[in-house]
């Protein structure tokens, strides 16, 4: 029987999309703008960064917190998400003399955020057998008593 995807599932997918777009924007965007002769657009492009961060944070809160509270109760998703946001927020403040750390921190941050949403989807699907206010056992053997 096919079930309708939950709102959390849609928010997870949107969160992964935003993190992927952010990754492409931050890593590949400047390279593409430089090769295309559009270096004047880099300043405008940098002004979009807060929008990506806010969008990613909003989608993460909308997807991860309800799933944590009502479905799977796993902190690993939230820990990955917060770590990814911290990487994205701190990438401008970490300096290395050997090479630019910013693309690495961006890739790591976006990867952690995407990973958090993927795990959240996986854990939420495993515990769909669990009713939020009943005691039952999920497929992974954990009891769900909410």
**Spatial distance between the Cα atoms of 81 and 83, rounded to a whole number of angstroms:** 5
- Per-chain mean pLDDT for the chain: 76
Three-state secondary structure string covering 64-92: HHHHHHHHHCCHHHHHHHHHHHHHHHHCC
Comparing 119 with 125, the larger pLDDT belongs to 119
Extents of the domains making up the chain = 8-145
Distances (CA, A) of 145 to 24, 44, 105, 113, 136: 41, 50, 38, 28, 7
Comparing 4 with 84, the larger pLDDT belongs to 84
Question: Does the structure show a pLDDT above 70 at 20?
Answer: yes
């Amino acid at each position: 029987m096919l079930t309708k995807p939950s709102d959390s599932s849609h928010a997870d997918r949107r969160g992964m999309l935003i993190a992927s777009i952010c990754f492409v924007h931050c890593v590949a965007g400047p390279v593409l703008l430089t090769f295309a002769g559009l270096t004047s657009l880099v300043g405008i492009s940098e002004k979009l960064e807060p929008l990506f961060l806010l969008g990613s944070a909003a989608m993460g809160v909308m997807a991860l917190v309800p799933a944590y509270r009502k479905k799977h109760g796993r902190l690993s998703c939230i820990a990955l998400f917060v770590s990814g946001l911290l990487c994205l927020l701190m990438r401008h403040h970490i300096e290395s003399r050997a090479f630019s750390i910013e693309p690495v921190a961006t890739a790591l941050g976006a990867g952690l955020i995407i990973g958090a949403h993927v795990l959240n989807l996986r854990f939420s699907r495993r515990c769909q057998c669990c009713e939020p206010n009943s005691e039952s056992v999920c497929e992974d053997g954990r009891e769900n008593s909410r």
